[in-house]
Amino acid sequence: MTRTHDSDDRPTETNSSTDSAIDAGSGSDRDPLFDRVPRRDFMKAGAAAGAMSSLAGCTGLLGGDDSVSLEDVKTEVKPGEHDDYYAFLSGGHTGEIRVYGLPSMRQLMRIPVFQPESARGYGYDDRTSEMLEESGDYTWGDAHHPRVSQTDNDYDGRWAFVNDKANGRMARINLKYFETDAIVDVPNQQGTHGACCLLPDTKYVFGVGEFRVPMPNDGQDLTDPENYTSTIAAINPETMNVEWEVLVDGNMDNGDGGKEGRWFFATGYNSEHATTESEMSSTDTDWVKAFDVPAIEEAVEAGEYDEINGVPVVDGTRDSALNEGDRPVVRYIDVSKSPHGVSVTPDGQYAIASGKLDPTATVIDIETLAEADDPNESIVGRPRLGMGPLHTAYDGRGHAYTTLFIDSQVVKWDIEKAVEAGEKSTDPVIEKIDVHYNPGHLIAAESYTADPQGDWLISLNKLSKDRFLPVGPMHPENDQLIYIGDDEEGMSLVKDTPSYAEPHDASVVSADKIDPAKIYDPDDYDEEFVGGDDSEITREDGRVHVKMYSMRNEFGFEEVTVTEGDEVTLTVTNIEDRSDILHSLAIPEHNINIKLAPQETREVTFTADEPGVYWMYCAFFCSALHLEMRSRLIVEPAE
């Protein structure tokens, strides 16, 4: 294990303790039952101190300097045991979300968001294909920032949201079913990069527009970058309606919401309004923009906006009238050039922006922002952390953890010390650990809430180089699990997990805060439930509607006969109520595979345009007679 207390020194030892770290936590003296008790309830019940050895993850509750050694926490999840946390990792340009269990780092599920995915029938039935089509009919997206909804600054288990940087969209995932249930094409944003919730109660989901374009981007101002601009968008989480947007100077990058419902922060580069890399980094400073949400809402209320592409757009540029006077809608805070991540501390006191091209982070005191004449007065610390600081996470014990992309390290530092030490001090740095290699984001358990758990941290590394068996020139990335619960011993690397391109960010949620359904509730969806006796075929004017059930090992009809050219709609219900008994309906040579979980109904519409016999079959191995679960689609030639 490598650590150094001098931020400017490169470490001299290399990580060699992966195996021993895993061994250390796999002792057989733990009582597996204790591990299954939700930690919060366990503490409330006043459990005996003698049970400390099984209190994985409770360090945040113990408060103060208390920390728990790696030997005393669960690092191995034995066969049949459950993990303590759900981790939602973005899939980058695969356009999906991956669900991992922590601390095992086992991949539990993949949730397709912006791309069709056949195993889940996503994009192959009418509802999901229409949702994808209506949001722009793209076959991919660039999903970076999964954020889980909160109530009272704690995860409420309702939804996760994620951006599409490629096409300017925001999606919502329903955590009852772990399925994408809404995608909005955000007007006036070409690339929606940052995504996050306004807390404490997820009043809005914010989409942070990165690419500056003419506004509206309809052919005007093509060669006049001074007139390009970008917006943040406030999206209603219930309706997914874009309520308003704010125009700004420069572009934007990442964002995070304050904990008290007033401020929203976005980093940005290119205050130069340039179009090339060298011009974009020609000045030494850029901005963190602090959006005063109630002031913006008042401006919208008072009609002080332009409607662009159907959305009220408030002018938040620096010399806008709305930024004059004592209640500016956007405060521009000078930070060293090209900052990248910004995140608000669990106590809501500071917004911390990472320097990226500058080896510091900027600590902004949120409380003083409203009163300060010059928003730069709210900068209260600028610790020198190391090369390429990108993103920061928290343990709830007063420490921040920042990825250093260029140094290939995670640095742990003391937030209050950074405020005491002032400009460019290395004093706040507590420790650094090597990661492999070049980390982008990192996330600690419940870091985005008011009460991080303080035990686990994942470093989402962009490169894996030599860490895994080679698989050709495209390497997997490497998500490394690091134990951060022991302040004496320091950070410990526990696991390497290869991952497919390319996680950017994650949210880690205690397992007891999410309550996924075991089977479908037919009332949650519009499709008509087709019960055991309800199978029927109706025909009218070249349209055929087939309603049929499915169960082990049959479909409601052994054969369905239609005529060439018919438009066929199949409404199919899996009438089983046993959990985990899935069926699907695949139709060869028709690009159809719909997934049917227990009690789920899906509908698919297609044109039967080639005469012939097609074996409709079930693609989930559902029973010993699964292969026999099939039915014939007979397409007769037209007269």
Name the site residues for ligand CUA (rule: CB under 6 A).
583, 618, 620-622, 626, 629
- CA separation for the pair 615, 17 (Å, rounded): 54
Q: How many residues does the chain have?
A: 639
Rule CB under 6 A: say whether 157 interacts with ligand RUQ: no
Rule CB under 6 A: say whether 441 interacts with ligand RUQ: yes
Kindly tell me which residue out of 93, 110, 158, 193 binds ligand RUQ, with binding defined by CB under 6 A. 193
342 vs 597, which CB is nearer to ligand CUA? 597
- How near is the Cβ of 271 to ligand RUQ at its closest, in Å? 19
Rule CB under 6 A: say whether 399 interacts with ligand RUQ: no
With contact defined as beta carbons under 8 Å apart, do 183 and 114 qualify?
yes
- CA separation for the pair 66, 8 (Å, rounded): 28
- The CA-atom distances, in angstroms, between 79 and each of 33, 37, 70, 104, 508 are 14, 18, 21, 11, 22
- CA separation for the pair 106, 502 (Å, rounded): 17
- How near is the Cβ of 502 to ligand RUQ at its closest, in Å? 8
Beta bridge partners of 572: 548, 602
- CA separation for the pair 154, 630 (Å, rounded): 47
- How near is the Cβ of 632 to ligand CUA at its closest, in Å? 16
Q: Report what 144 binds from ligand RUQ, ligand CUA, none; CB cut-off 5-8 Å by kind.
A: ligand RUQ
615 vs 621, which CB is nearer to ligand CUA? 621
Q: How many CB atoms lie within 10 A of CB 502?
A: 19
Kindly tell me which residue out of 440, 476, 485, 556 binds ligand RUQ, with binding defined by CB under 6 A. 440
Rule CB under 6 A: say whether 393 interacts with ligand RUQ: no
Q: 464 phi and psi, to 5 degrees?
A: -115, -20
40 vs 193, which CB is nearer to ligand RUQ? 193
With contact defined as beta carbons under 8 Å apart, do 184 and 195 qualify?
no
Rule CB under 6 A: say whether 340 interacts with ligand RUQ: yes
Q: Report what 626 binds from ligand CUA, ligand RUQ, none; CB cut-off 5-8 Å by kind.
A: ligand CUA
70 vs 166, which CB is nearer to ligand RUQ? 166
- The CA-atom distances, in angstroms, between 262 and each of 199, 209, 293, 295, 517 are 9, 20, 5, 9, 34
Q: Are strands 543-551 and 567-574 parallel, antiparallel or unpaired?
A: parallel
- How near is the Cβ of 118 to ligand CUA at its closest, in Å? 15
- How near is the Cβ of 210 to ligand RUQ at its closest, in Å? 9
Tell me which H or E stretch contains 35.
helix 32-36
- CA separation for the pair 1, 237 (Å, rounded): 43
Rule CB under 6 A: say whether 547 interacts with ligand RUQ: no
- How near is the Cβ of 37 to ligand RUQ at its closest, in Å? 35
Q: Return the residue nearest ligand RUQ (CB atom).
A: 440
- How near is the Cβ of 505 to ligand RUQ at its closest, in Å? 6
Tokens encoding 345? 């501390």
Which positions touch ligand RUQ (CB under 6 A)? 144-145, 193, 254, 340-341, 390-391, 440-441, 504
